[in-house]
Structure 1
């Protein structure tokens, strides 16, 4: 279903601390994909916490990344940017859903056969999501 599509550059992801784009999956559902810096490259994850499907990246805010971990804005669970694994909080012992990307010559390409690129940014349908009602003890 999917094909090779240039999304952005590695430098842009590292400079901005992350970015998001929207894809359509094999079931016809739109999904947001979070790109985060990982060592010298990038990793791509479905843009939602494994605990309560909370968005990790929000338009106008971005994703909170601390010490190479993406922080869930609702409960404070922290996911390793390179492996997607969480070892703390409400999402402990879970891993973010990955999306296949390839890096060549400093460019990031979507190469996941199960999705099709739609557009940069978050999906237009936010299901009335005005942001998290945080129960986290973390403050930023």
Structure 2
């Protein structure tokens, strides 16, 4: 059984739209994980994904603006690919046909817990201070 670590509340994720934390993976690498609301009644109300687009090494959640969510999807700020928030699947843009890397969590009593044995919680927020908050080196016309 995985060790549980309380991350935040479902209400916090739903109110903010997303919530970012840093964890250390099995290989000793610091990895950003983004929590996003999920509106699928058959799934928990929050899902956790590694904070990287599958097409290019691009953060989906940025410290000052959070993750851009549109119609139940997480929008990549670089090329506009949209990942379904509940499944991580992408069927549009440059990342079409891929899926975000999931991180195991549990939701109980309105609280979100990290339960993935491959990750150890380090801190809330980005992995480092170079969050690229000024935006991606975009090749699209998207503006957020």
Q: TM-score, normalised by structure 1?
A: 0.93
Q: Alpha-carbon deviation of 1:124? A: 1.5
Report if the CA contact (8 A) 2:62-2:131 is conserved.
no
Q: Alpha-carbon deviation of 1:137? A: 3.4
- The correspondence of residues 69-88 of structure 1 with structure 2, limited to 5 A, is 69-88=73-92
Change (3 A) 1:111 1:54: same
Q: Any runs of at least 4 consecutive aligned residues in structure 1 with deviations exceeding 4 A, and if so which?
A: 127-130
Q: Alpha-carbon deviation of 1:61? A: 1.5
Report if the CA contact (8 A) 2:62-2:132 is conserved.
no
Q: Which segment drifts farther, 121-130 or 67-76?
A: 121-130
1:40-93 CA-partner distances (Å, limit 9, x unpaired): 610000000000010000111211001010000000000000000000111000
Q: Alpha-carbon deviation of 1:127? A: 8.3
CA distance in 2, matches of 1:130, 1:4: 34
Residue correspondences, number: 139
Partner of 1:22: 22
Report if the CA contact (8 A) 2:63-2:126 is conserved.
yes
Query: 1:92 and 2:96 equivalent?
Result: yes
| Structure richer in strand, relative to its length | 1
Partner of 1:32: 32
Q: Alpha-carbon deviation of 1:104? A: 0.3
CA distance in 1, matches of 2:33, 2:84: 16
CA distance in 2, matches of 1:44, 1:126: 22
Q: TM-score, normalised by structure 2?
A: 0.90
| Structure 2: unaligned runs, 5 residues or longer | none
Q: What RMSD in Å do the two structures reach over aligned CA positions?
A: 1.7
CA distance in 2, matches of 1:37, 1:121: 17
Which residue of the other structure, out of 115, 119, 124, is the alignment partner of 1:120? 124
| Structure 1: unaligned runs, 5 residues or longer | none
Q: Alpha-carbon deviation of 1:126? A: 3.2
